[in-house]
Structure 1
Amino acid sequence: MNFQKGKKIYFASDNHLGAPSSEASLPREKKFVAWLDHIKQDAAAIFLLGDLFDFWMEYRKVIPKGFTRTLGKLAEISDSGIPIFYFVGNHDLWMNGYFEEELNIPVYHKPQEFTFNNTRFFIGHGDGLGPGDKGYKRMKKVFTNPVCKWLFKRLIHPDFGMRLGHYLSVKNKMISGDDDAKFLGEENEWLVQYSKRKLEEKHHDYFVFGHRHLPLDIDLGNNARYINLGDWISHYTYGVFDGDNFELKEY
């Protein structure tokens, strides 16, 4: 993807809308929508790196109630011709066509490579990558198993299923994976280690992830950097690439 001078690529992650309740997250949602309004003026593309919602489950004819402002703004921006790319996180693993069909937003379930103006990016949410986190990795296999998903949708009424999913999303730290939002040192940051291993296989200029809820910009050597976008709960940080440089900013 090449874009004109003056245009920018924007990145954001981990809004967790709906947590701890719809009422409590409404001010954060309004702030995020205001940010989307702000950046659409010069955005060449927008990347949302997961956990936009604290819980998201798509039944065949049912999606979670609420988030009208966010979904409407994403539809407006997408309809205007600005591409939006979405990467599922550990709180919205169960996306199944709604974003693609209704918003024209492609959804990715694994990290992807992109090249912008000859600069290589490796982009993903970040959950379950790198060493450690074995409990969550086992649980993720259950959550993403087609049979388990089919049984959940067939046997549990959406009203109860949504309520149960939201409760577990907030309460179960093995599911949320975000209970340790402090810097652990490069040697203990799993996504840093993962990025370094990927760098040995193929060069990328930037490895951009969410999940950790910490704004981080770490030099990996070999002219490569690891970026963590932070969150829209405590930090309200986002990434912006202008074709030459990548910056973390606060809104």
Structure 2
Amino acid sequence: MKIPEGKKIYFASDNHLGAPTRAKSLDREVKFVKWLDEVKKDAAAIFLLGDLFDFWFEYKTVVPKGFTRTLGKLAEITDSGIPVYYFVGNHDLWMSGYFEEELNIPVYHKPQEFTFNDIRFFIGHGDGLGPGDKGYKRMKKVFTNPFAKWLFRWLHPDLGVKLAQYLSVKNKLISGDEDVKFLGEENEWLVQYSKRKLESRHYDYFVFGHRHLPLTIDVGPNSKYVNLGDWIGYFTYGVFDGHQLSLEKYETEKTQNNSTET
């Protein structure tokens, strides 16, 4: 993909809309939609790297209600000709056609390679990659098993969605009872994964979500691992200007005014 002069590529991840309750996530959703409305002015493309929703499951004729502001804004953006790409996360991995058919957004279930202006990116959500986390990797196999999904689909949506949402918001990170801490390069699985990928092929940037920490780490000569942070506490996102990728923090006019006054 060639990035036109003056255009940018934007990356965001881990909104967890709907958690811990839809009412409490509404402010975050409004803020995210405002960001989408602003970046569409110079966006060549927008990449959403998973966990946009804290829970998402597509029945044959039903999807979880809510999130109208976000879905409507994404439809508006793709209708205007700006491509949006979606990578499923561990909270919304049960996507099976709705985004493609309704929003014209391609959905990826595995990391993908992209090249922008001859700069090579490796992009994904990040869950289940690298060494360790064997318990989650076993659970992911269950969650993505076609028979397990078929069984869950037989639950009435009122029961299935409510059960899944209950289990999802038990996540202490979303409830605010747990802080994510940087573990050090040797213990960050996605850092180790990136370094191993470099042994077979060069990438200028590895871009992931999942860890909820805004990070930029050198993983090799002219190669960086970038974690996008989240839209829960950090409100950070990535911007590629055609030459380099940087992390930025989104602050609304109200937030900026409050900061100035203090």
- Judge same fold: TM > 0.5, yes or no: yes
Take 2:144 and 2:178, find their aligned partners in 1: how far apart are those partners? Answer: 22
Q: Once the two structures are superposed, what CA deviation does each residue of 1:74-124 show, in whole Å capped at 9, x if it has no partner?
A: 000000000000000000010010000000000000000000010000000
The secondary structure found in structure 1 opposite 2:141 is helix
Take 1:208 and 1:180, find their aligned partners in 2: how far apart are those partners? Answer: 22
2:55–2:165 contact (8 Å) kept in structure 1: yes
The secondary structure found in structure 1 opposite 2:199 is helix
CA RMSD of aligned residues (A): 1.5
CA drift of 1:233 comes to: 0.2
Match of 1:133 in 2: 133
Letter of the structure 2 residue corresponding to residue 194 of structure 1: Y
Match of 1:38 in 2: 38
Match of 1:18 in 2: 18
Take 1:180 and 1:197, find their aligned partners in 2: how far apart are those partners? Answer: 28
Letter of the structure 2 residue corresponding to residue 55 of structure 1: F
Letter of the structure 2 residue corresponding to residue 34 of structure 1: K
Match of 1:212 in 2: 211
Take 1:70 and 1:138, find their aligned partners in 2: how far apart are those partners? Answer: 32
Q: How many residues align?
A: 248
Letter of the structure 2 residue corresponding to residue 17 of structure 1: L
Take 2:19 and 2:179, find their aligned partners in 1: how far apart are those partners? Answer: 17
Letter of the structure 2 residue corresponding to residue 218 of structure 1: I
Find out whether 1:195 has 2:194 as its counterpart: yes
Q: How does 1:218-233 map to 2 (within 5 A)?
A: 218-233=217-232
Stretches of 4+ moved more than 4 A in 1? none
2:48–2:87 contact (8 Å) kept in structure 1: yes
2:198–2:220 contact (8 Å) kept in structure 1: no
Letter of the structure 1 residue corresponding to residue 224 of structure 2: R
Unmatched tracts of structure 1, length 5 or more: none
Q: Once the two structures are superposed, what CA deviation does each residue of 1:199-228 show, in whole Å capped at 9, x if it has no partner?
A: 111000000000000000001121100000
Match of 2:260 in 1: none
Q: How does 1:79-90 map to 2 (within 5 A)?
A: 79-90=79-90
Q: How does 1:1-251 map to 2 (within 5 A)?
A: 1-154=1-154, 156-171=155-170, 181-251=180-250
CA drift of 1:186 comes to: 0.2
CA drift of 1:179 comes to: 5.5
Between 94-103 and 179-188, report the one with greater CA deviation: 179-188
Q: Once the two structures are superposed, what CA deviation does each residue of 1:138-185 show, in whole Å capped at 9, x if it has no partner?
A: 00000000000001102x111000001111111156xx9x95611000
Q: Once the two structures are superposed, what CA deviation does each residue of 1:229-250 show, in whole Å capped at 9, x if it has no partner?
A: 0000000000000011111000
The secondary structure found in structure 2 opposite 1:141 is helix
Between 80-89 and 180-189, report the one with greater CA deviation: 180-189
